[in-house]
Structure 1
Amino acid sequence: MKEQGRPTLTLRRKVLSEKPATSTEHNSPRADTPPVVTRKKTVVVNASDSPPPAWKVKKQAMEEQAKAERAAAKAARRAERVRLRAEQEAQEKAAKRPIPTRNATK
């Protein structure tokens, strides 16, 4: 029942031709084999002379602004905590201090 296995999938495509290929086709000595097609890769070199694109400059500026806003918010939270802690300590000191009483003896 399973005499034939699943076909193997490849990226190479077979060129079907009804007539036999001659050696002048495809400029190869073995014309009956399909040509191997490769992809040309491009290499992008970052030139330090050229300025970065406008979208990148804008993105960096937005990131710096967001970072500065986060730092300002963090500093404000820290200052608020310090103020609340100082108030709490002042209240604790006031609670520990004995209340002066007046003698009613005259």
Structure 2
Amino acid sequence: MRRIDVLGIGIGVFVAGGVAYLVLQAAGMDNLEAGIWSQFLLVGGLVGWLLTYLFRVGTKNMTYNQQVKDYEDAVLQKRLEEMTPEELAKLQAEIEQEKQQATPPPTSKP
């Protein structure tokens, strides 16, 4: 995120708080009550944003993680493209061997 984006979001939140305050005053609340409710709305929004952020961190659904995954996929794809047919056949044989070792043999029930 660029600095100008951060400044824009900060100014937007500041303006949103002022607008909420003015709307609550226009709805008939006194100054103190409108201030408390506008702060409550802003803090509630902040907590909501924080929870979505923590959820994205927990599920590893963030931009950095996606960029790393895309890079790793591209590197692997390039390596596969550079392999000779013999190397590809050898790799495929190794993968099949690992699959057979990873899956336990079926057990028969009496």
The two structures share one fold, judged by TM-score above 0.5 = no
Larger radius of gyration: 1
Q: Give the TM-score of the pair, scaled to structure 1.
A: 0.34
Structure possessing the higher relative contact order (Cα contacts under 8 Å, 6 or more residues apart)? 2
Q: Give the TM-score of the pair, scaled to structure 2.
A: 0.34
More helix by share: 2
